[in-house]
Structure 1
Amino acid sequence: MPKILALDASTEVCSVALTCADKNWTETCDQPRSHAKVLLPMVDRLLKASGLELAELDAVAVTNGPGSFTGIRIGLGIAQGLAYGAKLPVVSIDTLSVLAQGFSMSHPERTSLTLVPALDARMAEVYWAAYELTESGLSVALAPAVAAPEAMLDRLSAISAGRELVGLGHGWQVADTAVLAEVYTGETPSALALATAAAAQLPAAAPSTEANLVGLVSVEPLYLRNEISWNKRERIRGQ
C-alpha cells in the first residue's frame, strides 16, 4: 500500500486516514460545521503517530463530492494546500464510490450485489449512484446524479430485476426502501476506503517541475448542482 494521506469532509462526519505498507492510522470527527477547525489537527496527530513527514508520502487523497458544498471546498482546499507545499500529487475520488468502497472493505465476503449509496441533498433531492460489487471488485452501474427520491427509484426499478440492491447512506432516510434487500443509513464515507481507492489511481511518476506540480494538485469539485441551484438553496436557508 502506498503512503497516502486521505481526507474526507463531504458530509457532517469528517475523517482522515494515513496508510503506509500494511499499517493504517485513522481518526473521525462527528462535529458538524467544524471541519475547517479540526481537519489539520487530525492530520498532524496521524503524522506524529506514524512517525512520517508529509513530504515522505506518495500522495494526498480527497473526496471531491457530491455532498456538503462547504465541506467539499474545505476538504479540497486543505488537501491542495498540503499537497502543493509537500510537492505531492492529489488524487480525488467521488464521495458515493467511497461509500461503496467502504462497504466492500467491511464485508469482504459479500459479492454479487448492487450497492446504491445515497446522500440527502436537501431541496427534496438525493445524490446517488449504483455500483456492481463482484469478486473482481466495484464497477459503476449508474453514474453519480442528483434527483428526487422518486426519480432515483424509477431508475433503480429499471435495473433491479434479478439483483440484490443494498442501500448505503443517509439519503435513504428520505426515500422508500422497499426496493432494497438491505439498507445501512448510518454509513458515512471512510477516509481509509478513500485511501484504498486512491492507491489504484496514484500517478505513476512524481512531479518534476513546477508546471507538473500545479497540474497534479488541481482538482475539480463534483457538486452535481449548478450555481443557480446552490444560490436558491442559500436563499431558502436564509428565510
Structure 2
Amino acid sequence: MFLGIDCSGVAASLCLLGSDNHEFYQHSDTPRQADVIFSLLEKLFQDAGITQHDLTAIGVITGPGSFTGIRVGLSLAQGLADGLQIPVYGLDGFSALRGKTENALVVLESKRPELYVQHGTDAPQMLLPDEILHYTGNGEMALLHNLIPPHPLASMLRGQTGNTMAMIAARHALQKFQANSLPEPLNPFYVREADAKSNAI
C-alpha cells in the first residue's frame, strides 16, 4: 500500500493506494492539522483493513502553503518512513497539479489576498486575482486547488481542479517506487522565505 499525505493547505488529507489502484481517503477541514492527523491515519488504516507495516512507500506534498501544516505533513511522512524503513518521496504542489501539462497555470490557495502561482516551469510567485487573469486571458489552462466559491477565481477561471493532493502524492510514491527511484531528503517548499518567518512567529 502507498500512503499519500497533504497538510500544506487549509486541511489535512490522507490517501491509501493499493497495487490494484483501490483508494481509501480520510480528510479533515480543521486548520489544526497536528490535532487530527494521527486519528485520521488510524481511521484510514481501519477502513483499508491494514496496519502501518503494510505500507510500501510514502508520498507527501512539500508545499507551498501553511508553514505549520507543511511541517506536520513532512514530520509524519519522515517519522513513518524512518520507523518502517521504507522510502518517502516529496512532491511540491505545483508539480503535483501540473503533471505533464507543460504550459498550465497552477494556482494554489495561500490564505492571503495574493495566491501562489506558477506558469509552466517559470519561477513561482504570488499574484493578485486580477493579475492572474492576464495569463488566462490568453487561453492558458488553469489548474486550481482549494479555490471554491466565493473566491472570485473559482467562477472567473474556466480551469480544471485536479484530484486531491494526497491521492497525487500516493500515486507519485507508487511511480517512484516502481521505477526504483532513490528518495531525496524532504525539504519544505516555500514560494518566499518570508512565509516561513512570518508563520513561525
TM over 0.5: yes
Q: Which segments of 5 or more consecutive residues in structure 2 lack a partner in the other structure?
A: none
Instruction: Look up the match of 2:25.
Output: 26
2:170 to 184, 191, 195: 195
Change (3 A) 1:193 1:99: same
- Count of aligned residue pairs for this structure pair: 197
Q: 1:233 & 1:52 partners in 2: Cα distance?
A: 36
What letter matches 2:47 in structure 1? A
Change (3 A) 1:234 1:188: farther
1:71-108 CA-to-partner distances (Å, cap 9, x unmatched) read 0011001110011000011111112333456xx9xxxx
Root-mean-square deviation (Å): 3.4
Instruction: Look up the match of 2:197.
Output: 231
Q: Secondary structure at the match of 1:60?
A: strand
Is 1:121 equivalent to 2:107 in the alignment? no
Cα deviation for residue 168 of structure 1 reads 1.2
Change (3 A) 1:201 1:123: same
Instruction: Look up the match of 2:124.
Output: 145
Q: Which has the larger radius of gyration?
A: 1
Instruction: Look up the match of 1:136.
Output: none
Between the two structures, name the one with larger relative contact order (CA 8 Å, sep ≥ 6): 2
What letter matches 1:6 in structure 2? G
Higher strand proportion: 1
1:170-204 CA-to-partner distances (Å, cap 9, x unmatched) read 468365975x4x1468x784312221233222374
**Normalization by structure 1: what TM-score?**
0.67
1:218 to 179, 182, 185: 185
Cα deviation for residue 52 of structure 1 reads 2.7
Change (3 A) 1:42 1:69: same
2:48 to 42, 50, 62: 50
Q: 1:206 & 1:94 partners in 2: Cα distance?
A: 17
Do 1:88 and 1:217's aligned partners in 2 also have CA atoms closer than 8 Å? Answer: no
Change (3 A) 1:114 1:205: closer
Q: 1:147 & 1:97 partners in 2: Cα distance?
A: 16
Identity of aligned residues (%): 27
Q: 2:23 & 2:195 partners in 1: Cα distance?
A: 39
Do 2:105 and 2:140's aligned partners in 1 also have CA atoms closer than 8 Å? Answer: no
Do 2:117 and 2:127's aligned partners in 1 also have CA atoms closer than 8 Å? Answer: no
Instruction: Look up the match of 1:37.
Output: 35
Q: 1:69 & 1:174 partners in 2: Cα distance?
A: 25
Q: 2:64 & 2:163 partners in 1: Cα distance?
A: 13
Q: Secondary structure at the match of 1:55?
A: helix
What does 1:37-116 correspond to in 2, within 5 Å?
A: 37-100=35-98, 115-116=104-105
Q: 1:49 & 1:119 partners in 2: Cα distance?
A: 30
Do 1:118 and 1:167's aligned partners in 2 also have CA atoms closer than 8 Å? Answer: yes
